Structure 1
Amino acid sequence: MKQLNLIAFFLLCSCTISTFAQKNKKMDIIAYYTGDDKLINEYEISKLNQIIFSFCHLKEGKLSVDTPKDSVTIKHLVSLKASNPQLKVLLSLGGWSGCEPCSAAFSTAEGRLLFAKSVKELSDYFKVDGLDLDWEYPAIEGLPGHLYQPADKTNFTELIKILRSTLGKKYDLSFAAGGFQKYLDESVEWKKVMPLVNRVNIMSYDLVNGYATVTGHHTPLYSTNPKEESTDRAVEYLLKLGIPAEKLVIGGAFYTRTWKEVANVNNGLYQPGVHIQGVSFKNYATTYTEANGWKYFWDDKAKAAYWYNEKEKTFATGDNVTSIKAKAEYAKAKKLGGVMFWELPLDTPRDGLVNTIYEVKTAK
């Protein structure tokens, strides 16, 4: 009897370990990637679950790979799967400036079907694992001048339906979603769309964007006041709608947003300014130094990093090791689908933000 109990105990232990291992694997690390077939080799692919090639575009209503160079890159990304069995490679449509014809192209059943068939053809040809839609944005203004119309919201639903029926269950289907309230309220029919997709990649960054004339945290984990956008605010909104936690992926920003002409009040936070070019994470160590006049600050309520240069009256906001660790721990605690980020070439090849997420994921 004792022997049977011992066997049962070991079986229970092995099952428990297996269950936790499976749960652990569910926290995916997802990289958007705009680089070529050479740059990717500098990074630790074994720590990624998904690479989203960015971007493909619409050409005559079809998903199109822009150049022969892009084709070479996609083929190389797919080849990395041979030595990385956990890895999936997706194509992405659009981007901030890359979806100008989307509203018109997806406004008819014929247009949506034409696109869906082209996605299937390209996916089969390149042997990729699926598609990430990055339409910025259905039904609300994205890049100034791009067409958007109220019908986009239902057309987006119909687009997801035809993509899923055309691609079948074999292919992954996801979309990048604005992490701000207007998008969450007006762009997507969440309860109709989410059962048909594998995940939504919440762009919980650029929440204070390049058009803003007042500084703020652009990728905070938490809101510090009821009106402030944040990662947690978007996640809680979708969880309350009944969206499964494992289908929600939160976003990290491997770059800063920066403003000049910012007064030395509140260390530059929530002050008027003029937006200028930001800095990649891989360049933080040489840019945000005391020798260059920068001071580092941490907002413990927002779980957000920021920097201020009193001499140059310049303010910067973005993810760093501390904030990305907090996001990864949040995703793990809430059993979310994982963490994605924009974008891999902005990270250091070793001991950077990807490594930080990976350490949280694999910690016991």
Structure 2
Amino acid sequence: MNNRLTRRLGVLIATASVLLTVAPPTAANATTGHRGGSDGYYKVGYFTQWGIYGRAFPVKKLDTSGAAARLTHVNYAFGNVSEDGRCYLDGGPGEGDPWADYQRPVPAEESVDGVADAPGQALNGNFNQLAKLKAKHRDLKVLISLGGWSWSTYFSNAAATDASRKAFVSSCIDLYLKGNLPGTAPGTAAGVFDGIDLDWEWPGSAGEPGNVIRPDDKQNFTLLLAEFRKQLDAYGKKKREHYQLTAFLPAAPSTIDAGFEGQKIFKYLDFATVQGYDFHGGWDARANQQSALRVPAGAPDNPDFSVEVAIDAWRDRGAPSRKLVLGVPYYGRGWTGITTGGNGLFGPATGPAPATFEAGYEDYKVLKNLVGNGYTLHRDLRAGHAWLFDGTTLWTYDDPAVLLQKSLYIRKEGLGGAMIWSLDGDDDNASLTKALSLGLWTF
């Protein structure tokens, strides 16, 4: 690494080291923008329904860590789609968790305002805590995200015909925006959600095994967005609100071409988040980067994936830069059994690295503690990525310095902002969210 790059890296790390003492921007010290928060950028974080369990990440941590003050949107993951093409909540195994969503009485120590849920109150669980979070952070928007990797099985059914699209959209508005939850009084959850995020993985191409795929998914996705926009606007007119519509989009050019009509879809979307991670993982036979800004020199795959490849692919197909929000990971991908020495990158591996919840997948808050504890931190500033290696096991991940570099890329390229998967991977001080906020702060 030459001296110029070393100095630039030093500035990034020095800046990251003071993140915990930096206050979030306010209307008084930030320039008003045309997009997300007071600085003009969207800062979107996914909150996972299941994070309240093993990861011990209740909604309250978004407040106490300082993350909520630095976000414009929280996307709640996920809402399910039934085989007959409806938004629904079902307590059956693998079909949903209404207990976490709105039934679980939240104790005072986990409550955003410190007040425990009272016996018999209408709304409990994460939904009530999100309402409390919004009351405390008035500019924060909360969207329900539909689908995800596991629950995109029947999206194609919902989008297949004009009648199915109308019924699907109506059911989602009734359930989440009107707040008509099963087993509760009408309107119990009204006001919790400010819009809908579509996370269909993927129209026209394979996602999780068993997903329904149709040749006309590509056109039907556009028509589905149009129906959402129509019904959201009609409902919003009655409520005097603008209900937002967003979508999660893939990084792979082949997946883009199979399922998305480039420029057309952005007519209906407030913005879209673009997958900026999972470029490589334990499914690969060698250790590699999962979220680099650019394809690293010496990468074994050609063509390969990177943030730059993904963003350029969307812009080449007519997507407006200002509506593209870059996804960043709050977790790492890991491999073990690497015996080639050096820094481990691109070395053959025997399989995914052991981890807390899933082999080959570990939260940032765990990985950051490996630095200096048997692992050496490596960086490629030109490619924009970092990794840890102990001689056998390698973890590729984003730390505050990498996120500062990505925020500079977002600014330089005129993108709409950053999206986080997922907020429960951060530490208790929201170090990663603070890094993004600082990098996107307009002085």
TM-score surpassing 0.5? yes
The yes-or-no answer on 1:86 pairing with 2:139 is yes
Answer with 187-196 or 61-70: which moved more.
61-70
CA distance in 2, matches of 1:331, 1:347: 21
Match of 2:251 in 1: 179
Q: 1:248 aligns with which of 318, 324, 329?
A: 324
Task: Tell me the alpha carbon deviations over residues 5-63 of structure 1, each in whole angstroms, 9 at most, x when there is no partner.
Answer: xxxxxxxxxxxx99942256321111000144444443321111000000110134221
Match of 2:32 in 1: 21
Match of 1:362 in 2: 441
| Number of aligned residues | 344
Q: What is the CA-CA distance between 1:354 and the residue it aligns to?
A: 0.1
Equivalent pair of 1:32/1:342 in contact (CA under 8 Å): yes
Equivalent pair of 2:276/2:306 in contact (CA under 8 Å): yes
Task: Report the CA distance shift for 1:115/1:252 in structure 2 as closer, same or farther (over 3 A).
Answer: same
The yes-or-no answer on 1:264 pairing with 2:340 is yes
Match of 1:164 in 2: 229
Match of 2:425 in 1: 346
Task: Tell me the alpha carbon deviations over residues 48-93 of structure 1, each in whole angstroms, 9 at most, x when there is no partner.
Answer: 1000000110134221243042123123213322221221000001
Match of 1:26, SS state, is coil
CA distance in 2, matches of 1:344, 1:42: 13
More strand by share: 1
Equivalent pair of 2:294/2:309 in contact (CA under 8 Å): yes
Within-5 A mapping of 1:45-194: 45-59=68-82, 60-65=84-89, 66=96, 67-71=98-102, 72-121=125-174, 122-125=176-179, 126-127=190-191, 128-168=193-233, 170-194=242-266
Q: What is the CA-CA distance between 1:322 and the residue it aligns to?
A: 1.2
Match of 1:295 in 2: 376
CA RMSD of aligned residues (A): 2.1
Equivalent pair of 1:180/1:230 in contact (CA under 8 Å): no
Q: What is the CA-CA distance between 1:361 and the residue it aligns to?
A: 1.9
Q: 2:365 aligns with which of 271, 277, 282?
A: 282
CA distance in 2, matches of 1:147, 1:266: 44
CA distance in 1, matches of 2:433, 2:32: 20
Percent identity of equivalent pairs = 26
CA distance in 1, matches of 2:173, 2:413: 34
Equivalent pair of 1:206/1:219 in contact (CA under 8 Å): yes
Task: Tell me the alpha carbon deviations over residues 152-204 of structure 1, each in whole angstroms, 9 at most, x when there is no partner.
Answer: 11111111111111111621111111112222222211221111101110011
Match of 2:105 in 1: none
Letter in 2 for 1:164: R
Q: 2:287 aligns with which of 215, 218, 222?
A: 215
Equivalent pair of 1:219/1:318 in contact (CA under 8 Å): yes
Match of 1:9 in 2: none
Letter in 1 for 2:244: D
Return the TM-score normalized by structure 1: 0.88
CA distance in 1, matches of 2:282, 2:272: 23
The yes-or-no answer on 1:335 pairing with 2:388 is no
Letter in 2 for 1:124: K
CA distance in 2, matches of 1:244, 1:336: 9
The yes-or-no answer on 1:322 pairing with 2:401 is yes
Equivalent pair of 1:177/1:183 in contact (CA under 8 Å): no
CA distance in 2, matches of 1:261, 1:144: 28
Equivalent pair of 1:180/1:204 in contact (CA under 8 Å): no
CA distance in 2, matches of 1:18, 1:354: 19
Q: What is the CA-CA distance between 1:229 and the residue it aligns to?
A: 0.8
Letter in 2 for 1:279: E
Match of 1:333, SS state, is helix
Match of 1:5 in 2: none
Task: Report the CA distance shift for 1:353/1:143 in structure 2 as closer, same or farther (over 3 A).
Answer: same
CA distance in 2, matches of 1:353, 1:18: 21
The yes-or-no answer on 1:235 pairing with 2:311 is yes
More helix by share: 1
Q: What is the CA-CA distance between 1:103 and the residue it aligns to?
A: 2.0
